[in-house]
Structure 1
Amino acid sequence: MKRIEIKENNLNMVYEITDENEIKLLHFSNLPFDENDINSCEGTASFRPVEVLLSGLNRPGERHGTKYTYTAPGYRLKYKDMKDYRNETGRKLEILMEDKPTGLEVCSNIQFYDGISVIRSWTELKNNGEEDLGVEYVSSFALLGIDKEGLLSTDEKLEVLIARNAWQKELIWNRFSMDQLGMSISQPDKVRRSSQTISVGNTGNWSTKNYLPMGCLKNKETDSILFWQIEQNGSWYWEISDQDGHMYLQLSGPTEHQSHWWKNLKPGDTFASVPVSVGSACGDVEEAAGELTKYRRAIRRKNEDNEKLPVIFNDYMNCLWGDPTTEKELPLIDKAKEAGCEYFCVDCGWYSAGFWWDGVGEWLPSKERFPGGLKEVMDYIRSKGMVPGVWLELEVMGIKCPKADKVPDDWYFMRHGKKVYDRSRYQLDFRNPEVIAHATEVIDRLVNEYGVGYIKMDYNIEPGIGTELNADSAGDGLLGHNRAYLKWLDGIFVKYPDLVIENCSSGGLRMDYAMLSRYSIQSTSDQEDYIRYATIAANSPMALTPEQAAIWSYP
């Protein structure tokens, strides 16, 4: 047996390599490791750093329900190698494991950030075998023993903080005891392994329509807090439960059971799970928010507007409500300038003479609304010393868009041989190069022809589990789209580094750090009542950096 102790940025990690050549993660905390805290009749057997579930393999270990414990081949992975080095960010660990019967190689990646008590973690899979491997689940981070510090029972000392999120009522944090979440102790301490889980996740493209992809575990006895976020702009999942006398936390992207995700890994293929971040600190949510803020600033795209914090005027909320015209905009522009605004954004409706909802997609200005052209309004904004902006919803195409029926079905999400509808829109599939060309052409035209320097990028549909077209599963298609969209967005910012794009999804329904590591600013809500908005504004620093939080101000 061999122990490896990692001490970095006030974080303590302890790995063990057993006599059976298995690697275990015994400890991750700001607190020091104490051997006596391990309270399991199985010793360290269940302290696996990664869980991986492949189709067609038996799971002989003791488990109950749908918990992602004793996964196969996760339970039989053998240690292969560990790389420990520094890069431009900080210390980096790469832990290689293998399952010789299937030929699966697993690499657990742990990236530290200098001066920040947070790691980024993800898992890479490679099929070195001769047969296809069907992946049903892979953890991005797995930690058993999240309850082990302190003398009190988990019922007495632990609280879970969960953030519910919804349209016009974003960022609602609640504290729960283990009993309130169904995880009260009902078995002897050393053998706890109930069928109950604390399960929080999202299925679909609105990544934060029910919950934020994050959470906290507070140990009241030791006055320490464990906190995490999942950096995914689609489906994701985390669970807390008990196993072999301890409680565990596991974080992942999409799964087969929860998200209709299944990946066929052919010989030679690789797959990387979605990145997650995990931290630990003494104190409560204030300390967690502080460390997460430093980490979020470290991982996001560098942009000038996060330093200058300009004032933005948007003509939608409690103003034009999607009915812009030249006649209405010009006096608003004058008043916005007088009020000290530096950006002026023309919101939805600028491309349609009448009802604008189901005709989106071509993004050509309405001559009825702007007789002198949209450029006339954009130029007037510039003449007042402000940066002009417009609203887009670029990932969708309305069913009444003139272009909608002129493009092939593979532009869209497809299930059961049919295009996916939601709220009179189709979901565009950014895995398709023609869709990428269409989206890029729209941005090019707005920036180069109309002088747009600001885009409010909205997203107001939920296309569900994903697309079956050119995918191993609907969830696989969705994940592919999610990643293709982020890659496209990265390219847009390379092409137009001064362009400011706001992340909006019916307010804050995609408030995740897959998006916010790219976007400059986040719409926190569509809440129209400034009194109800107060709580949303106050809670926003827990979800994103304060300078990225766009808070509506009312006249």
Structure 2
Amino acid sequence: MTVTLPGLPGDDEQYLEWGNDVVRLALAHGPRTVPRLVALWHTGEPHPDLAGLRRSALPVLEVAVLGEGRSGTSGKRHVDGAAAQRLRLTGHREHRDEQTSRLELDVAEGETGLRATITYEVADGVPAVRSRARITADRPAVLDHATTGVLGGLGHGAFWEDELAVWEAANPWSGEFRWRRRTLAERGLFDVGMVRYDQVGSKNRVTLTSTGAWSTSEHLAQGIVEDTRTGRMVAWTAETNGAWHAELGDRYGDVYLLVTGPTAAEHQWAGRVGPGAVVDTVPVSLAVVDGHPGGTEATLGALASALTAYRRHLRRTHPDHDALPVVYNDFLNALMSDPTTERALPLIEAAADLGAEYYVIDAGWYDDEFGGWWDSVGAWEPSTNRFPGGGLTAVIDRIRELGMKPGLWLEPEVIGVRSPMADRLSPEAFFRRDGHRVAEWGRYQLDLRHPAARAHLDTVVDRLVGEFGLAYLKFDYNVDIGPGTDAGGSEPAGNGLLGHGRAMLDWVAAVMDRHPGLVVEGCAAGGSRTDPASGAVFPIQSLTDQQDFWLVPPVAAAAPLTIPPEQAGVWASVDRTMTAEEIAFSLVTALLSRVHLAGRIDTLDAGQREVVREALAVHRSLRQATARSVPVWPLGLPDWRDPWVVLGARDGQDLYLAVWRRADAGRSGVARDGTGRHAAGHGTAGADGDSVRLRLPGLVATGDAEVLFPAWGEASAVVVDGGEALEVKLPGPTSARLFRLRVTDERGGVA
């Protein structure tokens, strides 16, 4: 519920306080006051100094109108929009349904007749606030940028250039989730002293910007601001599967954070508002946790717990979230987009024998040319040349006969330049710019706002699901189509991209509504669309295309800060050339998430198959725990070259720990020394030869550790330091184990 607080003595401002039991926000408003978000805090922190934060607070809707720009400052920053400074609060409402509370603010300004409804949303018990706005105007206007994702007052009272740290994640193809931590000074933002001379600040900013249709191909659409004085962390997320922008800048001695969808400057976007024309801003979420006495890793765990709970609350419900079936996919290190009946049948037999529950035939099943699968996609008719003696139907029937559910790969958004559909579909169904159909690497891009594009894909999906009884579809997306589409007219390209991205997710949701129980996996060149908008729709997402099993652990271990483990598809690739320890290493990588079994499993001998069966039996025993778990990082987030990588999954009093040892054995891309390093520069791993000491962040062990998998071989985990740490020893330079131990919360009570 809201609480109204008086403003400063002698003024006409009021403060509106709202939130839930763990997160609160305070808004200043009044007849002469722009409604401003003054503070956002966790209830475990002291109540903020609203009067002290008031000067640097920014409007609840930061918006600039074309022809006006900013007021009071200039530069590249997306704050201090002239239109935003004229807004006034005209009303507010509260709503409540099930476990969600909403606050709606009505704001308006007189010069352009700009009006907006801003919605804040919180879920019970989760310290995260989601916000968005619907904007219109009494007469036509064009917006340069618009967002509700603005928070000032960060580092209030701090020497912020050194005492605020920024966490951001590079997300390169096949090396995703690469987190790093740097101070604002290290990112190039300094206090230049100009506030003393009545200036706003430095006019500079540090930024992350994603352009094009791959929302996370360079950076994850999220970050963290850490106050190193207290350990407090604020996490931000841009909830879009397209273009976004984030910036940090100094303002009146404090630091602000702005997160937004597409803008005019960065993305060729223009927000057209007026009678009958509205702009719906990209939703932005902010999560906040207070500093944990257990240190940075414990605070990071608390933040990850909040983000995981928030994402589980936000997403569509799907039975797959609880079932967590084992999927064998024939692409990685196996058929590699070249399936035939002869090649597939041995893999199908082996997958069933090992205990896979779904068998997915990846790319190439439609390719009659034995090599033209890339630029001929679009009709999605099964190849006749690849599957003699019964066609694809016979292959899929064999999958079903052996007790598995069948699946197929599709790349629905693209049409190959050599596909017959390139000429059959209306030109208006494709991305266009300046009179040209947009092509990228032999593919055209469908615009799923167009009825013909959607009807084509509906026909394809309904035909394939009906004809083959499919239970699984993998939707891939392997080209980044650029800034967007002008739809053959005057629409800004950035508007076209945003509209298509939203339409695409609406279409995926409609497919699952039409085919209840169908599992649809989201994939985009590995993890190039691992964004929360996609995660709210797809029940499972692909994390990476990494083929080297040695290099997958850092990807899998860092992923839970971005996606709940029960939605994270992790490759576990195995074949006959691997030792038992290497096979176990690869399988451990997936056991605390979703198992995407891969590789030439048909070549495994009897002993190797037993290793896989043992792992999958452990996975099945942990599925309910995984679906409830929250991540823990005893060594912090992993660096790409760390010789020791650790991921924990906490389910109440049970803590599961996956530990990988990657000491130098001549493998490319992995550390060649014996020391571990935390991503973001936190501490040391305590590694020495074949052992590593794991400090349990914010937790205390209450019993001995148990080796869950593999149960053979020399490995140990001994509780030390009164239960605050674990001494783990693994047998060789390439080895991994999954452990379980009982824990309690260091702060008191059950974890």
Shift of 1:348: 0.6
- In 2, the alpha carbon distance for the partners of 1:36 and 1:370 equals 70
2:68 aligned residue (54, 57, 62): 57
Match of 2:225 in 1: 217
Is 2:469 the counterpart of 1:451?
A: yes
In the TM superposition, what whole-angstrom CA distance separates every residue of 1:150-192 from its partner, at most 9, and x where no partner exists? x541123211100111111110000011111111222156655
Is 2:549 the counterpart of 1:530?
A: yes
Q: Is the 2:360–2:407 Cα contact (8 Å) retained in structure 1?
A: yes
In the TM superposition, what whole-angstrom CA distance separates every residue of 1:439-484 from its partner, at most 9, and x where no partner exists? 0111101110011111111100011000011562011111111111
Aligned runs of 1:69-148 on 2, under 5 Å? 69-127=79-137, 129=138, 131-148=139-156
- In 1, the alpha carbon distance for the partners of 2:206 and 2:97 equals 36
Match of 2:424 in 1: 406
Match of 1:27 in 2: 39
SS at match of 2:559: helix
Residues 1:389 and 1:7: Cα distance change in structure 2 (over 3 Å): closer
Match of 1:472 in 2: 491
Is 2:521 the counterpart of 1:506?
A: no
Q: Is the 2:425–2:452 Cα contact (8 Å) retained in structure 1?
A: no
Q: Is the 2:130–2:286 Cα contact (8 Å) retained in structure 1?
A: yes
Match of 1:175 in 2: 181
Match of 2:306 in 1: 291
Name the amino acid aligned to 2:545.
D
Name the amino acid aligned to 1:346.
I
Residues 1:3 and 1:516: Cα distance change in structure 2 (over 3 Å): same
In the TM superposition, what whole-angstrom CA distance separates every residue of 1:388-411 from its partner, at most 9, and x where no partner exists? 011100100001112212322112
Name the amino acid aligned to 1:315.
D
2:323 aligned residue (297, 300, 308): 308
- In 2, the alpha carbon distance for the partners of 1:365 and 1:60 equals 60
Aligned runs of 1:345-424 on 2, under 5 Å? 345-353=360-368, 354-355=370-371, 356-371=373-388, 372-424=390-442
C-alpha RMSD over aligned residues: 1.6
Match of 2:684 in 1: none
In the TM superposition, what whole-angstrom CA distance separates every residue of 1:363-398 from its partner, at most 9, and x where no partner exists? 001100012211111111011110001110010000
- In 2, the alpha carbon distance for the partners of 1:33 and 1:256 equals 38
Shift of 1:204: 0.9
Q: Is the 2:57–2:151 Cα contact (8 Å) retained in structure 1?
A: no
Larger C-alpha radius of gyration, 1 or 2? 2
Match of 2:691 in 1: none
- In 2, the alpha carbon distance for the partners of 1:346 and 1:34 equals 55
Q: Is the 2:471–2:517 Cα contact (8 Å) retained in structure 1?
A: yes
Shift of 1:103: 1.0
Shift of 1:339: 0.8
Match of 2:687 in 1: none
Match of 1:16 in 2: 28
Name the amino acid aligned to 1:32.
P
Residues 1:36 and 1:299: Cα distance change in structure 2 (over 3 Å): closer
SS at match of 1:552: strand
Shift of 1:544: 0.2
Residues 1:418 and 1:163: Cα distance change in structure 2 (over 3 Å): same
Is 2:513 the counterpart of 1:486?
A: no
SS at match of 1:515: helix
Aligned runs of 1:257-336 on 2, under 5 Å? 257-283=265-291, 284-336=299-351
- In 1, the alpha carbon distance for the partners of 2:282 and 2:158 equals 35
Residues 1:54 and 1:192: Cα distance change in structure 2 (over 3 Å): closer
- In 1, the alpha carbon distance for the partners of 2:234 and 2:403 equals 47
User: How high is the TM-score relative to the length of structure 2?
Assistant: 0.71
Shift of 1:277: 1.2
Report the identity percentage: 35
SS at match of 1:381: helix
Name the amino acid aligned to 2:438.
V
- In 2, the alpha carbon distance for the partners of 1:68 and 1:324 equals 50
Shift of 1:119: 1.3
Q: Is the 1:471–1:477 Cα contact (8 Å) retained in structure 2?
A: no
In the TM superposition, what whole-angstrom CA distance separates every residue of 1:54-113 from its partner, at most 9, and x where no partner exists? 11125331x242101210201111121121232234221111110111111122210010
SS at match of 1:193: coil
User: Mean alpha-carbon deviation: is it higher for 407-416 or for 384-393?
Assistant: 407-416
User: How high is the TM-score relative to the length of structure 1?
Assistant: 0.96
- In 1, the alpha carbon distance for the partners of 2:312 and 2:26 equals 27
- In 2, the alpha carbon distance for the partners of 1:366 and 1:504 equals 23
Q: Is the 1:98–1:106 Cα contact (8 Å) retained in structure 2?
A: yes
Is 2:18 the counterpart of 1:3?
A: no
SS at match of 1:337: helix
Residues 1:455 and 1:17: Cα distance change in structure 2 (over 3 Å): same
Shift of 1:124: 1.2
- In 1, the alpha carbon distance for the partners of 2:144 and 2:267 equals 10
Q: Is the 1:29–1:226 Cα contact (8 Å) retained in structure 2?
A: no
Shift of 1:285: 2.1
In the TM superposition, what whole-angstrom CA distance separates every residue of 1:240-299 from its partner, at most 9, and x where no partner exists? 111122111111111110111112223232221111211101233221111010011111
Residues 1:122 and 1:367: Cα distance change in structure 2 (over 3 Å): same
Q: Is the 1:192–1:246 Cα contact (8 Å) retained in structure 2?
A: no
- In 2, the alpha carbon distance for the partners of 1:33 and 1:315 equals 55
User: Mean alpha-carbon deviation: is it higher for 24-33 or for 189-198?
Assistant: 189-198
Name the amino acid aligned to 1:272.
D
- In 2, the alpha carbon distance for the partners of 1:56 and 1:542 equals 41
Shift of 1:9: 3.1
Unaligned runs of 5+ in 1: none
Unaligned runs of 5+ in 2: 1-12, 292-298, 575-751
- In 1, the alpha carbon distance for the partners of 2:190 and 2:114 equals 37
Count of paired positions:
547
- In 1, the alpha carbon distance for the partners of 2:154 and 2:164 equals 10
Deviation above 3 Å: which 4+ runs of structure 1?
Answer: 188-192
Is 2:445 the counterpart of 1:427?
A: yes
- In 1, the alpha carbon distance for the partners of 2:247 and 2:134 equals 20
Q: Is the 1:344–1:387 Cα contact (8 Å) retained in structure 2?
A: yes
SS at match of 1:553: strand
User: Mean alpha-carbon deviation: is it higher for 410-419 or for 89-98?
Assistant: 89-98
